[in-house]
A and B are shown apart, each in its own frame.
Chain A
Amino acid sequence: MKYMKKNIIFCVAICGIAIIALTGCKKFLDRKPLTSTLDDYAQGGLEPQALGLYGALRNSAGDPYIGDGFQSIPWIGINGFRSDDQEIVSDPGAAQWHATYDNFNYTKDDWASGVYWDKHYLLIGNCNTILQIADSLGLTDPSSEVNIAEAKWFRALSYWDLVRNYGEIPKIDFRIYKASDANIPKSNEAAILALIESDLQYATTHLPLNWPAKFAGRLTSGAAKALLAKVYVWQKKWAPALALCEEVINSNEYALIKPYWSIWKTQNELSKESVFEIQAAYAPGDGGQLWSWFGTAQGVRGNGADGWDLGWGWNTPTANLVNAYEAGDPRKAATILFSGQPDDAANGGYGKTLPPYTNALYWNKKVYTSDAERAASGDLHGAYFMNCRLIRYADVILTAAEAANETNQGTKAETYLEMIRERARDGNNTILPKVVFANQAQMRTAIKAERRVEFGCEFERFWDLVRWGDAQSVLGGLGYQPKHHWYPLPSGAISSNPNLVQNPDYP
Chain B
Amino acid sequence: MKLTTLLILFFTVNTYATGYGQEKINLRVKKTEISDVLRSIEKQTSYRFLYNDKLEDIREKVSINVKDADITDVLNLLLDDTRLLYQLMNDNLIVIKEDPNAPPRLPDVPIRGKVTGEGNAPLAGASVQVKNTTIGTTTDNSGNFSLTVPDANVTLVISSIGYEDQEIPLGGRTEITVALVVSVKLQDAVVVIGYGTASKRDLTGSIAKVDGKEVADKPNTNPLSSLQSKVAGLSVVNNAVPGSQPDIRIRGTVSMGSVSPLYVVDGIFTDNIDYLNPNDIESIEILKDPSSLAIFGVKGASGVIAISTKKAKSGQVNITLSSNYGTKTLVDKIQLANGDDFRTIFAMEAANGLNDPDPTIGNKNTDFLNNEMHLWTGNTDWIDEVTRTASFTNTNLSVGAATEKNKFTLGLGYTLDQGLVKHVDYKRFTLSFSDEFKLASFLKVGVNFIGSNEKLPYGGSGQLYDARKTLPIIEAGTKPFYLRDPYQTVFDSANYNLYSGTPVIQNTEHNPMLVIENNWNKVINDRLRGVGNVFAEFTFLKNFNFKATIYKDLAFVDNRTYTPVYYAYNPAASNPANQAYLYNPLSSVNTKESSQNVTQQDYILNYKRTFGDHAVAATLGTTWYEIKYMDNSSLSKQRDGDQPIPDDERFWYASNGFATPSNPTSSQWEYATVSFLGRLLYNYKSKYFLTGSYRKDYASNINDVYEKKAQNFWAVGAAWELTREGFMSNQKLFDFLKLKASIGVLGNFNTGTIGGYYPFYPGVNATQATFGVNTVSVFENKYLPDPNLKWETVHAKEIGVEFNMFRNRFHGEINYYDKRTKDLLALLKPVGVLPTLTNSGEISNKGFEFTAGWDQNINKDLRISLTGNLTTYSNEVISLNYEIPADPQYANQTEAGKPISYFYGYVVEGLYQSYADILASPVVAISGPPVQPGDFKYKDIGGPNKTGPDGVIDENDQTMIGNPTPDFSYGLGLSIKYKKFDFALDLGGVYGNEIYRYWSTSEQKNSVYNYPKYFLDAWNGPGTSNWVPIVDAQHLTNRVPSTFGIEDGSFVRIRNIGVGYNFSVEKAKIKNGRVYLNVQNLKTWKNNLGYSPEYGGSATSFGIDAGSAESALPRVITVGFSVTF
Contact = CB atoms under 8 A, between A and B. Distances in A.
Main secondary structure of the interface of B (DSSP, over half): mixed
Contact of A281 (B573, B709, B775): B775
Interface in A9-53: 10-11, 14, 17-18, 21, 25-26, 28-39, 41, 48-49, 51-52
Given A7-B540, A51-B778, A121-B831, A305 B771 contact: no
Nearest to B569: A305
A95 B767 contact: no
B828 A287 contact: no
Interface stretch (B399-407, B693-701, B844-852): B693-701
Interface in B881-934: 881-883, 885, 888, 925, 927-929
Nearest to A306: B578
A56 B699 CA distance: 33
A211 to B, nearest CB: 8
B358 A102 contact: yes
B1104 to A, nearest CB: 17
B528 interface: no
B888 A286 contact: no
A241 interface: no
Contacts of B882: 179, 496
Interface string B610-646: 0000000000001010100010000101011100000
A118 B603 CA distance: 50
A409 B1078 CA distance: 93
Interface stretch (A76-84, A86-94, A434-442): A86-94
A356 B672 contact: no
A31 B671 contact: yes
A126 B360 CA distance: 42
B501 interface: yes
Interface in A249-291: 270, 279-281, 284-290
A305 B581 contact: yes
B761 A95 contact: no
A99 interface: yes
A96 B771 contact: no
A178 B838 CA distance: 9
B764 A36 contact: yes
B1005 to A, nearest CB: 6
Nearest to A56: B780
A374 B833 contact: no
Interface residues of B, number: 123
Interface in B808-829: 828-829
Interface residues of A, number: 120
B780 A55 contact: yes
A134 interface: no
Contact of A55 (B635, B769, B1033): B769
Contact of A179 (B505, B574, B624, B828): B828
Given A62-B767, A176-B833, A305 B774 contact: no
Nearest to B664: A287
B484 interface: no
B365 A218 contact: no
A89 B640 CA distance: 30
B928 A107 contact: yes
A63 interface: yes
Interface in A359-385: 359, 374-375, 378-381
Contact of B784 (A49, A92, A176, A506): A176
A138 interface: no
Contacts of B881: 180
Contact of B762 (A34, A38, A178, A491): A38
Contact of A38 (B546, B763, B832): B763
B1017 interface: no
Contacts of A51: 769, 776, 778
Given A105-B928, A182-B830, A288-B662, A304 B605 contact: no
Contact of B770 (A35, A39, A176, A279): A279
Interface string B976-1014: 000000000000000000000000000011111000000
A126 B780 CA distance: 7
Given A56-B780, A109-B888, A279 B674 contact: no
A93 B585 contact: no
Interface string A277-320: 00111001111111000000000010111100000000000000
B954 interface: yes
B622 A18 contact: yes
Interface in B834-860: 834-836, 838
A93 B1034 CA distance: 10
B731 interface: no
Contacts, number: 338
A25 B361 contact: no
Contact of A54 (B365, B586, B766, B778): B778
B364 A92 contact: yes
Given A64-B780, A285-B660, A33 B1036 contact: no
Nearest to A35: B756
A355 B928 contact: no
Contact of A378 (B548, B637, B929): B637
Contacts of B134: none
B508 A93 contact: yes
B757 A52 contact: no
B504 interface: yes
Given A36-B764, A92-B364, A96-B1036, A48 B833 contact: no
A167 B164 CA distance: 80
B786 interface: yes
B952 interface: yes
B663 interface: yes
A374 B769 contact: no
Nearest to A66: B780
B731 to A, nearest CB: 48
Contact of A26 (B360, B630, B640, B706): B706
A29 B831 contact: no
Contacts of A1: 67
A64 B829 CA distance: 11
**Residue among A32, A52, A121, A180 having the largest count of chain B Cβ atoms under 10 Å:** A52
**Residue among A6, A305, A488 having the largest count of chain B Cβ atoms under 10 Å:** A305
A176 B701 CA distance: 22
Nearest to A87: B360
A56 B700 CA distance: 31
Contacts of B624: 21, 28
B32 interface: no
A207 to B, nearest CB: 14
A343 B677 CA distance: 77
Given A55-B780, A490-B831, A95 B1033 contact: yes
Contact of A492 (B637, B673, B885): B885
A490 B927 CA distance: 12
Contacts of A114: 831
B832 to A, nearest CB: 3
B1034 A496 contact: no
**Residue among B832, B836, B1005 having the largest count of chain A Cβ atoms under 10 Å:** B832
A92 B581 contact: no
B371 to A, nearest CB: 8
Nearest to B1033: A95
Contacts of A220: none
A121 B546 CA distance: 58
Nearest to A215: B771
B51 interface: no
Top-10 shortest CB links A-B: A121-B832, A93-B1007, A216-B772, A305-B581, A107-B927, A38-B762, A54-B769, A287-B663, A52-B778, A33-B758
14 contacts: A6-B540, A26-B706, A49-B779, A54-B771, A100-B927, A117-B832, A121-B832, A176-B834, A182-B830, A182-B833, A287-B662, A290-B770, A496-B831, A496-B882
Given A34-B756, A52-B769, A284-B660, 20 more contacts: A54-B771, A56-B780, A61-B767, A64-B834, A92-B361, A92-B507, A96-B1039, A179-B830, A179-B838, A216-B771, A216-B773, A279-B772, A284-B639, A287-B662, A289-B663, A304-B568, A378-B637, A378-B640, A492-B885, A497-B830
